Amino acid sequence: MQEPVGTKGLIFNEPLLWEKGAKGRCGFSIPRRDVDAFPVDEAIHGDGPDFPDLGESDVVRHFTRLSQWNFSVDSGMYPLGSCTMKYNPKTNERQAALPGFAGAHPLLPTELSQGVLQMMYELERYLGEITGLSAVTLQPAAGAQGELTGMLIFYAYHQTQGRKRSKIIIPDTAHGTNPASATLCSYKSVPVKSDENGVLAPADVAAVMDDDTAGIMVTNPNTLGLFEDNIREVAEIVHDHGGLVYADGANMNAVMGIVNMADSGVDVLHLNLHKTFATPHGGGGPGSGPVCVTPELEHFLPTPRVIEKDGAYFLSENYPDSVGKIHAFYGNFGVQIKAYSYIRSMGADGLKMASQLAVLNANYIKASLKDTYYLPYDRPCMHECVFNDKFLSDFKVSTLDVAKRLMEYGFHPPTIYFPLVVAGAIMIEPTETECKQDIDMFIDAMKSIAQEARENPELLHEAPTTPKVRRLDEITAARKPCLCG
């Protein structure tokens, strides 16, 4: 790679706000009082709040400098596998900031909330059409809470059938929160290993599926970035024993507009609006994890639910079999607006193309790097591809070393050491929003690092040396964490 994206640049040190400024500085002019000053008893207010005296430039420079310490999807490529860190279109932020939305209070009466309720109602219809599962709730605050909601629906369904089931099948390629969500609903997780192709084998599912098992939680595409080819046969096995199929839809960015999840045999599915539908992720959140179900399971969805009658929209609690409320009010509304804006902006053809480009980009990286990094499953992938450090082990270079060195080339590292199915995993998801030019620079950087591993491994062991924060002592941090605040 001739010229890395990363550079040493100019990085400012920045003290705390209380260490800046000087007595008497002020960042704005307070309007002249129209009432007389009145002394307040110091016994009541004490010495007053501990606010530093700062000018406007002090405040602006402080937060600007802190922002320069961070890397974001607005800064560059963020190839975190499993996380889908795609670019967030700024038009979505504009719609969420419209006064009618931003100023809406959840306790407003129905007649003053028609636009808000209509947006929620239509978003549910869109998500139902995209997934093939027509009944939707927007309440869950993120993917993990969507999983929990799905397991509550499993429990309620079997209870109404007069069955008490105690187990859930969870493949080794599922997301890590799946077994936790099942445990919260008193289910015992039954692990199933993926086969030599990285997917579920129907025979392995049949071997553990019985009349005491509530169903299966499948991540599809799975965490290896592979589509579960046998999903219909697996679903038939589960259904034949009276069980349900839950699909972790965190990876819908690969199949949105292409795969009908209901036709795959899925009964319950959660979505991550902060992944597939381009709302901010992580620190830019909060998230949103809607749950979609078949019509047969609709009456178990959380309440209240948005209903439409004669062109008007209402919130209804009239669902006696509902699992109840699982989030304050009606979900993270601001996130829902951004997802609604994204869907309306893209349209059906645009959403499908997003999936196709995400898969194309991932396969391009896979084909470009498979001779440089070991590829455990050399087959067409979906939205992400998984390598490991096997080719570098002779030089005493690890996956962590590669990730640390990549920072000096100007790229956020990909997900590492996950999924656990692959030892030393390097999990790369470029998403559809990265252009070929940027992906080629990433590929060149990864190849350059592999060459450095062969010629000068100590360079990788010491990396990074140029960013604001150097390599941390992760072993001591894990064994002797400082938890004092």
Q: What angle do CA 346, 352, 355 make, to 5 degrees?
A: 105
Which pLDDT value is given to residue 474? Answer: 82
The percent of residues above 70 in pLDDT, for the chain, comes to 97
| Confidence category of residue 228, pLDDT binned at 50, 70, 90 | very high
- AA letter at 7: T
- Percentages helix, strand, coil for the chain (3-state, rounded to 5) are 40, 10, 50
Q: pLDDT tens digits for 345-371?
A: 999 999 999 999 999 999 999 999 999
How high is the pLDDT of residue 51?
85
Tokens of 255: 């199949």
Q: Coil, strand, or helix at residue 340?
A: helix
Give the relative orientation of helices 177-184 and 143-160 as an angle to the nearest 10 degrees.
40
Residues 458 and 390 sit within 8 Å (Cβ to Cβ): no
pLDDT band at 454 (very low <50, low <70, confident <90, very high): very high
* Total count of residues recorded for the chain: 485
pLDDT surpasses 70 at 1? no
Q: Using pLDDT thresholds of 50, 70 and 90, give the confidence band for residue 472.
A: confident
pLDDT (tens digit, 9 = 90+) per residue, 399-411?
999 999 999 999 9
In this prediction, what percent of the chain has a pLDDT beyond 90?
Answer: 79
pLDDT at 213 exceeding the cut of 60: yes
Q: In whole numbers, what is the pLDDT of the chain averaged over residues?
A: 93
β-strands 385-388, 135-137: how paired?
A: unpaired
Return the H-helix or E-strand segment holding 245: strand 244-249
pLDDT of residue 13: 84
Give the global pTM.
0.90
| 56-87 pLDDT per residue, tens | 999 999 999 988 888 888 889 999 999 999 99
pLDDT at residue number 468: 81
Supply the DSSP symbol for 339.
H
Mean pLDDT of 312-323: 96
pLDDT, average across residues 255-265: 97
Q: Per-residue confidence at 315, pLDDT binned at 50, 70, 90?
A: very high
pLDDT band at 389 (very low <50, low <70, confident <90, very high): very high
Q: What is the DSSP string of 359-387?
A: HHHHHHHHHHHTTTSB-SS-S--SS-EEE
- Tokens of residue 452, six digits: 């450095």
Q: What residue has token string 């028609």? A: 114
At 283 the pLDDT is: 60
Residue with tokens 């890397």: 71
Q: Can you read off the two tokens belonging to residue 198?
A: 């990285």
Per-residue pLDDT band for 40 (boundaries 50, 70, 90) equals confident
Q: What was the pLDDT predicted at 282?
A: 67
Per-residue pLDDT of 111-161, as tens digits, reads: 999 999 999 999 999 999 999 999 999 999 999 999 999 999 999 999 999
pLDDT attached to residue 22: 87
The pLDDT of 247-256, averaged and rounded, is: 96
- H or E element, residue 343: helix 333-369
- Contact of 267 with 246, CB cutoff 8 Å: yes
Distance in angstroms (rounded) separating the CA atoms of residues 447 and 2: 12
Domain 91-345 grouped into CATH 3.40.50.1370? no
- Residues 301, 138 contacting (CB under 8 angstroms): no
Q: What is the mean pLDDT of residues 83-104?
A: 94
